[in-house]
Each structure stands twice: as structure tokens, then as C-alpha cells.
Amino acid sequence: MRRAAARAAHRRRPPAGAPSWSVADLAERLGEHGPLVELHCGGLGVEQTLGDCMQQLRSSASRTDRLAAEALHTIGLLPTYAVSVEAIGAAHGWSRARSAAAVDRLVEANLAEESASGQYAVHDLVHAVARSWAESTTTPARRHALRLRVLRHYVALAWRSRELSRTPPSGIDHGALTRPLDPDLGPSACLELVSADADQVLALARVVAGHGDESGLAVAHLALGLMTFFVAKADNLGWPETLELALEHLPDDAPDERVWLWQDLALARSGRGDHAAAAEAAQTSARLAREHARPLAEAGAEIAGSIALRRLGRLPDAVQACMRGLALSLQQGDERGAAAAWRDLGLLQAAVGKRADGVRSERRSLDLYRRLGVPRGIAMTLINLGVMLRDDGALTDARSLLEEAVEVSRSVGDRALETEALDELGYWHVVAGDPRGGISVLSDGLALVDDRGAGQWEVSIRRRLAMALDGLGRHDEADEHWRTALRRHEQRGERRQAAELRQLWASRVSMRRTGPTRAATSRRTSPA
């Protein structure tokens, strides 16, 4: 409250040289009058007015003003308009309190705005002036050094968040990469910080890449660390491209990073539906791992390859790859790797008709994940096991497992995983003869689908909502969900899936009052 009051008072009496209008006012004036260089207010160009304000902060006797000038200088060297207090601190080695004071001063001077999420941003015209000022007063070497420092801050956050999905890749110094972070900053908190700054993170990686081996290695570590972000927050969008950027600029003498980048690329490509390319990436990772005697990495590559092979319909090859990954994990004492292998093997066994074996494998995986305390792994295996039991008619046990999956995924803030769990739990209600309960749960899942994530489950949820609504005779509402689901497939270029959905919709229209039809279920094979 005290800070807000101070800002309000300051804005009523802005310091000499500071804009007396807000950034939004400037934007409106710019829209009315044309480019920045042509816009004048009171005889002064806006560019000159902003420049004068920046210079006043820089030469002020106030230490906070000078810190604000340095913060704005940093913002000018970063590729996007949004910035966090933590990123400013990383650029200069400042404490959070000092960084917050500097950014707050920019807000008071109407040079930055605070968003509802607590992030900060400057308008593009302020960013343009700040960039011109920063580039004219800083050598290329110093500009790159500052950007690399900020990138390493994001590497540390991303690397610690990765453990939510998988253990840190062997052969890479986890402690060195996360050393800049507060030891009490947990993986989930790191994931939220990365997600809030995602546009800046990815843009910065593109700017820094190509500036030598040191930068290439930093981009590789960032790409590897971002696994959980891409799986849990970004629906895999941008994941293959980020890994490919890292591989393009990776130094020759980084075999461990190369093995793991190819392995993650297999998972990323499969997550985007490019299963043939995913299988090739997994083979490359496995080959490199054998060449460099990296058995843990080889195990992960085999398991990643089995996912792509299963989705290609090559079930015998997928089973063999998964079994090789499981054997290597057990030989190396990697229990978390073994838990992932048991989980994926269970799906394969069910797919080849050995459902009892599949259930036993899923239970082995769940027992291991519980003992290791890996929440995402627990939730993913709960979904797999719950779906298997539901489809076998063991409805009571299936409901308990799926409800637990919702709670566990919610507890770790994994929006995509929670949406999948709600999708499968909602369909449980439909299968159990409770379409109204199914509609309620599925609607909760659909509410989580937006441009921030969880979109990979939208089609499945809408299809199941349509079936439940059809069962209740609410055909107009059902058709709207069928129509939207079909449009999503078409927007993604998923022609085969669109054709299958169109055929299913047509069959439902011709059988309007026949009760729910069993839909194809989705089972979890993403990293854990």
C-alpha cells in the first residue's frame, strides 16, 4: 500500500525531464501521429523526451535513479519488452531488493509498467530508445557478456525445473549449472519463473547462439533444462526448434550434451506427431551413447525410441527397445529410469493384448515412483493404470486412481497433466453411466485449455463432451464441440485425425439416441 501511494504521489508531480504522461498515453499519441521520430509534444520529440529522462536518471545524485538507468540500459539490450526483477539482478549481480528498487523507479518515472502477474514491461517505443542508447554506449563484447549472464540465470532456473520431468542428464555438472540459485528455490517455483519469462528466454537463446563455443554450450544447457516447461506448460510448441538450435551451435567437444539433446529431440518430435523423425533421433542418441560409453543415456534413448515406435505401430520393435532400456536402467541402478521403462512397457503390453501384464508393469512403475517421491511420474502412471482398469470394467479402482491423478498433477502445478487426468476421469463418468457427472468434470478440464497450455487435450475433451451431450439429447451443444474439435485438427494440419473425427461425428449423427460409444483413450508416455 505504501509503495502504491508513493507511486501515485510521484506521478502527480513527475521529476523534471520525466514524461508527465504514461507509456499508454505515448502509445496512443504514437498511433495518432505516426512514427516515433515524427512525434513531437510541446516542441520536443518523444524520442528526445525519453532520452532526456533516461539521461537524467543516469546523472542523478540519487543512487536509486542511477540503478534505474542501469536497469533500463539492460532492458534495451534484451530482445523482448517484458523483463523480470530476477533477470535484471542476474545481469548485474544485484540482490533482489536492489533490482526491485531499480525497476520500481522505472515504473514511477512512467518508463515501465507492472503486469497483474508481477512482471514488468516497457512499451516498444521506450524499448526502441533504450536499445539505441544501450547499443551506442556499449561495445559488442559487453553487450554479449550481459546477455550471456542473463541467459545463464535462465539456464539455472530451467535446469532445476527439469527434475520435475526427469533426473539431470548424466555427465553434466548439475551443481555448477544451478549454483547461482537460492538453494531453497524449489523446482516448481523455478518452472513458474521460467514460464513467466518464456518469450524472453527463447528470444535470448536465439540472440546468444552463434557467438562461440561458450554461448553454444549455454544454449545447449538451456534447451535441456527446458524439458519440463515444454512438456507441462507449452504443449511441446517450440521444443524441437529449440533443441535443433542447440545442436546447430553445440561445440564439437560436448559429447554428453549431444547425446542428451538428440534424446530430448526424439521426445519433442514425437510429442509434435513426427514419430518417424523421433525414432531416427532416438537411434542417433543411442548410437552416440554407445560410442561414448554412456549407458544411462543409452537407456533413456531406447525408452524414448520405444515411444515413437509404438506410435508408428511398430509394436514388436517398440517392446524390444523398451526392454533394452529397462535392462540398462536396472543394470545401472537407475530406479527412476526403470520406473519410466515399466510405465511405457505396460502400455506396450496392453497394446499387444497382454493387458494383465500391462497392469502389473504399471503397478511396478507406480510403486517405484511412490518410493522415489516423483509426483509427475506418480500422476502419469496413475492415469495409465486408471485408464486400463476403467477399460477392463474395474470402475471402482479406476475412479480412485484417476481422482488421485487429478490431485497430484494439480499439486505440482502441471496444467497439461491435470487436464489429461480430468479428461480421463470425465470419461470414466461417461463409461459408468453418469453423463452429467462426465460433462461437469470434462468442462473443468476444458476450462484449463487456453493459449497458455494444455491444448493437446482439447480435441479429446471436446469429443467426449460431445458424446456425453449426445447421450442426453443435447445435440446442438454436442455438434458445437464436434465442430470445434474438427477445426483444431485442421488448424494443426492433422488430416488423418480430422478424417477419423469427421467419420466418428457422422456415425454419431446417424445414431443420435444410442448411448455413449467408447472412445479411444490417451495414455501417458511423456517424460518423468
- 122 and 144 in a single domain? The answer is no
- 193 and 229 in a single domain? The answer is yes
Q: State the Cα angle at 154 between 294 and 246, rounded to 5°.
A: 50
CATH no. for residue 73? 1.10.10
Average predicted confidence (pLDDT) for the chain:
87
Is residue 326 assigned to a domain? no
Helix axes 335-351, 375-391, angle to 10 degrees: 20
- 9 and 108 in a single domain? The answer is yes
What tens digit of pLDDT does each residue of 345-386 get?
999 999 999 999 999 999 999 999 999 999 999 999 999 999
Task: Tell me the residue length of the chain.
Answer: 528
- 70 and 173 in a single domain? The answer is no
Is residue 286 assigned to a domain? no
User: What does 12-54 look like in DSSP terms, one character per residue?
Assistant: HSPPTTS-SS-HHHHHHHHHHH-SGGG-EETTEEHHHHHHHHH
Is residue 272 assigned to a domain? no
Question: How many structural domains are present in the chain?
Answer: 3
Is residue 488 assigned to a domain? yes
What tens digit of pLDDT does each residue of 402-433 get?
999 999 999 988 888 999 999 999 999 999 99
Is residue 434 assigned to a domain? yes
Model confidence, pTM: 0.84
Domain endpoint, select from 219, 253, 287: 253
Domain endpoint, select from 215, 235, 253: 253
Q: State mean pLDDT over 291-295.
A: 97
**Residues 6 or more apart in contact with residue 182 via CB below 8 angstroms:** none
Show the cell assigned to 3: 509503495
Q: Taking a C-beta distance cutoff of 8 angstroms, is the pair 244, 462 a contact?
A: no
Nearest to 81 by CA among 27, 7, 160, 44: 27
Q: Taking a C-beta distance cutoff of 8 angstroms, is the pair 158, 243 a contact?
A: no
- 234 and 118 in a single domain? The answer is no
pLDDT value of position 450: 66
Range of the domain at 74: 2-138
- 134 and 7 in a single domain? The answer is yes
Q: State the Cα angle at 316 between 315 and 321, rounded to 5°.
A: 95
Is residue 490 assigned to a domain? yes
- 521 and 429 in a single domain? The answer is yes
Is residue 12 assigned to a domain? yes
Is residue 349 assigned to a domain? no
Taking CB atoms within 8 Å and a gap of at least 24, the contacts of 478-485 are 478/508, 482/508, 485/458, 485/459
Is 60 exceeded by the pLDDT of residue 171? Answer: yes
- 32 and 126 in a single domain? The answer is yes
- 105 and 170 in a single domain? The answer is no
- 144 and 131 in a single domain? The answer is no
What tens digit of pLDDT does each residue of 297-347 get?
999 999 999 999 999 999 999 999 999 999 999 999 999 999 999 999 999
